[in-house]
């Protein structure tokens, strides 16, 4: 948590001004019991109305000045807390973007969302209250004790005993609740994960009439959070009654001793009232301090979770290669293997092949054979466990991310579009693309009829995730987005699965006629989609079991024959 304080840089002024004005306001507050004592002992005792009025005006002035100081302190505290939170969120988001797929897979999206939102809100509240109360409350507590000693040393001994006991109770409860709040946030991750899955998979849940089961799972998850919060809350709830009990016992002793000493003439009534007011001030401040401690324990627990993300370093280190000339061998795999962080076995083992510039390479295999894993090594979404992957004769590990990924256009399995116009989505690959270039890419992706059917054309608004488009339309637009980039290497990862055979064939013909001749990798379950490829790679359980043209593989690759026959051979043949 304390490592996050580096983000307070730039808010030094606010961090000084806010506590300063709070301490100034507290100083005026400490003067009030003395003024009250003088009103009782001098004004009321002597029947001097003018003196009483004069002292009352002084109290009003102290209240006005104190209010002004409080408003200034609140303003600067809020400014520092919000600014700090903004900087942390920006840095956290940037750090998450720098993580490889391996770290993101390990952490999980729901955890990262919780830490970016709920955890950061707790940290922001903690910083705000810390600037306002962390110095003020102890200042009032110890200031009231010191002021009590200036009034009566014997009576102030009660303060000297009560305050350490209170400190022991408060810090004991704080140490007990910090790990509990951390557990609450971890369980909250689970609730967010379920919520996210239900929202994204709402159609599937309804299709299988599984709403009741999902509701039960959600109830169980929220019940666990509820129990954890209650347990943490019960311990935190001890703080207020414990502090009240200690303070009230101290006040009872104070008044009892004060009454005896007033009768003996050793203490005035005004002094007893002043001592009582100082004890009341301590009570009020300790209640505030208890609230601050609860908030701080949550903030520390949440801050530690946020800092834990910062401490995770990407398993992929960026290279320094900035320039690279096009090579005849566009992509080459040299005995490449991939093992995921949480897997016990390699997903890809000893893959070796090369793709020449302008070639179309088809990749096919059964489910889980490693097709997507293979193409993810080219843009370096994952690093090889063994072996190397070369682009234009240079190891991908030597490239800077920007240079490497500028050369590559990727169309993932899941078509992802973002809220905004069609034009905005198409310019992800090339910010300076003209409307003509965008329309040409959309035409080649067989989506021109979709564009023509939308009101506003390129200005048509796509909803989040492309919800107002069909699956096939989303796939065609994601292909168009990659084509706008005009990449040297184009990876189509099962990106035409929602297209009919005729549209798929038209798409492949259009890609073959591209004037800049990119090297194209087509990952597909359909043999028809890759039959015309210059080279087809057949994968089975992470290993290459066949490589060649369509006709060659039909003759000598059993796995390819089985896939082809399952799709085209008629019953009885």
Say whether both 120 and 263 belong to one domain.
yes
Query: What is the reported pLDDT for 571?
Result: 41
Classify residue 451 as left (phi > 0), alpha (psi -120 to 50) or beta.
alpha
**8 Å CB contact between 33 and 281:** yes
Q: Number of folded domains in the chain?
A: 3
The per-residue pLDDT for 521 is 95
Angle ∠(532,536,539) on CA atoms, nearest 5: 145
Among residues 434, 462, 486, which one ends one of the domains? Answer: 486
The CATH number that applies at residue 424 is: 3.40.50.300
- Cα–Cα nearest to 111, from 101, 124, 96: 96
Q: Tens-of-pLDDT digits for all 573 residues of the chain?
A: 678 888 988 898 999 999 999 999 888 888 888 888 888 888 888 888 888 899 899 989 999 998 999 999 999 999 999 999 999 999 999 999 888 888 888 887 778 888 888 889 989 999 998 898 888 888 888 888 888 888 877 777 887 888 788 778 877 877 787 778 778 877 877 887 888 788 878 878 888 888 888 889 889 988 988 888 888 888 878 877 887 788 788 888 878 887 887 787 777 888 888 888 887 787 778 778 777 877 887 888 888 889 989 988 888 888 887 777 777 899 999 999 998 877 778 889 999 999 999 999 999 988 888 899 999 999 999 899 899 999 998 999 999 888 888 889 999 888 888 989 999 999 987 888 999 999 999 999 999 998 988 888 899 999 888 888 888 899 999 999 999 999 999 999 988 887 888 888 898 899 988 888 899 999 998 888 899 899 999 999 889 999 999 999 999 999 999 999 888 764 444
Q: How far is CA 391 from CA 348, 395, 396, in A?
A: 19, 6, 6
211 and 281 both lie in a single domain: yes
User: Are 456 and 560 part of one and the same domain?
Assistant: no
The kind and range of the H/E element at 411 are strand 408-411
Q: Are 479 and 487 in contact (CB under 8 A)?
A: no
Tell whether 228 is covered by a domain: yes
- Please spell the DSSP secondary structure of 102-138, one letter per residue: HHHHHH-HHHHHHHHTHHHHHHHHHHHHHHHHTTHHH
Angle between helices 269-311 and 136-151 (to 10 degrees): 160
- Collapsing DSSP to helix, strand or coil, 461 comes out as strand
DSSP 460: P
Tell whether 184 and 298 lie within a shared domain: yes
Looking at the structure, tell me whether residues 65 and 165 fall in a common domain. Answer: yes
338: which strand partners? 348
Rounded CA separation 89/93 (Å): 6
* CA neighbor of 7 nearest in space, from 246, 457, 338, 310: 310
**494 & 481 share domain:** no
- Whether 351 and 267 map to the same domain: the answer is no
Tell me, yes or no, whether 227 and 137 share the same domain: yes
Closest CA to 369 of 572, 136, 559, 568: 559
pTM of the model: 0.73
Query: Same structural domain for residues 368 and 451?
Result: no
pLDDT on residue 187: 84
Q: Are residue 30 and residue 103 in the same domain, yes or no? A: yes
Contact assessment for residue 446 and residue 507, using Cβ atoms and an 8 Å cutoff: yes
Q: Which of 540, 520, 518 is nearest to 530 (CA)?
A: 520
CA-CA-CA-CA torsion for 49, 50, 55, 57, nearest 10 degrees? 110
Q: How far apart are CA 235 and CA 310, in angstroms?
A: 30
CATH code for the domain of 253 = 1.20.1560.10
According to DSSP, residue 204 is labeled H
Residue pair 483/441 in contact (Cβ under 8 Å)? The answer is yes
Range of the domain at 401: 327-407+490-567
Distance CA 196, CA 213 (A): 16
Domain co-membership, 167 together with 265: yes
The closest alpha carbon to 255, from 278, 284, 286, belongs to 278
Q: Identify whether 317 is part of a domain.
A: no
SS3 labels along 318-359: CCCECCCCCCCEEEEEEEEEECCCCCCCCCEEEEEEEEECCC
Evaluate whether residue 403 is within a structural domain.
yes
Residue 472 lies in a domain: yes
Residue 322 belongs to a domain: no
């Amino acid at each position: 948590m304390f490592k996050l304080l580096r983000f307070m840089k730039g808010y030094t002024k606010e961090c000084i001004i806010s506590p300063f004005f709070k301490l100034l306001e507290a100083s005026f507050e400490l003067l009030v019991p003395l003024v009250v004592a003088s009103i009782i002992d001098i004004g009321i005792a002597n029947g001097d109305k003018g003196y009483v009025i004069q002292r009352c005006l002084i109290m009003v002035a102290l209240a006005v000045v104190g209010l002004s100081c409080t408003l200034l302190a609140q303003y600067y505290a809020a400014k520092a807390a919000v600014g700090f939170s903004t900087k942390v969120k920006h840095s956290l988001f940037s750090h998450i973007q720098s993580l490889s797929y391996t770290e993101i897979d390990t952490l999980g999206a729901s955890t990262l969302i919780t830490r970016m939102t709920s955890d950061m809100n707790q940290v922001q509240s903690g910083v705000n209250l810390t600037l306002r109360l962390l110095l003020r409350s102890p200042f009032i507590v110890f200031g009231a004790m010191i002021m009590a000693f200036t009034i009566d040393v014997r009576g102030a001994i009660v303060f000297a005993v009560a305050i350490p006991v209170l400190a022991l109770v408060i810090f004991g409860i704080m140490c007990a609740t910090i790990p509990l709040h951390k557990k609450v946030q971890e369980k909250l991750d689970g609730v967010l994960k379920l919520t996210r899955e239900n929202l994204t998979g709402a159609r599937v849940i309804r299709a299988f009439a599984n709403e009741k089961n999902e509701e039960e799972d959600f109830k169980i998850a929220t019940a666990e959070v509820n129990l954890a919060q209650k347990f943490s809350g019960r311990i935190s709830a001890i703080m207020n009654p414990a502090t009240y009990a200690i303070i009230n016992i101290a006040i009872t002793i104070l008044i009892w001793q004060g009454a005896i000493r007033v009768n003996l003439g050793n203490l005035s009534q005004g002094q007893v009232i002043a001592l009582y007011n100082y004890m009341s001030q301590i009570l009020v401040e300790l209640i505030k301090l208890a609230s601050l401690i609860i908030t701080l324990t949550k903030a520390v627990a949440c801050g530690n979770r946020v800092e834990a993300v910062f401490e995770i370093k990407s398993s992929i280190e960026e290279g320094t290669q900035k320039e690279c000339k096009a090579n005849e061998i566009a992509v080459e795999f040299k005995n490449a293997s991939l093992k995921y962080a949480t897997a016990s076995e390699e997903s890809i083992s000893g893959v070796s092949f090369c793709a020449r510039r302008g070639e179309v390479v088809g990749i096919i295999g059964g489910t889980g054979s490693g097709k997507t894993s293979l193409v993810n090594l080219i843009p370096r979404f994952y690093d090889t466990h063994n072996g190397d992957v070369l682009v234009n004769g240079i190891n991908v590990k030597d490239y800077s991310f920007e240079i490497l990924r500028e050369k590559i256009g990727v169309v993932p399995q899941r078509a992802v579009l973002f809220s905004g116009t069609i034009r905005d989505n198409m310019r992800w690959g090339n910010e300076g693309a003209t409307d003509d270039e965008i329309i040409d890419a959309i035409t080649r992706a067989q989506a021109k009829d979709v564009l023509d059917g939308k009101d506003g054309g390129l200005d048509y608004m796509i909803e989040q995730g492309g919800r107002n488009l069909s699956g096939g339309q989303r796939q065609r637009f994601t292909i168009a987005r990659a084509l706008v980039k005009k990449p040297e290497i184009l990876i189509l990862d099962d990106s035409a699965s929602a297209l009919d055979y005729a549209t798929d064939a038209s798409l492949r013909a259009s890609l073959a006629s591209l004037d800049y001749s990119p090297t194209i990798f087509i990952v597909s379950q359909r043999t028809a989609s890759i039959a015309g490829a210059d080279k087809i790679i057949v994968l089975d359980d992470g290993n290459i079991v066949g490589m060649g043209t369509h006709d060659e593989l039909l003759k000598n690759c059993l796995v390819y024959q089985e896939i082809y026959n399952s799709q085209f051979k008629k019953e009885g043949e």
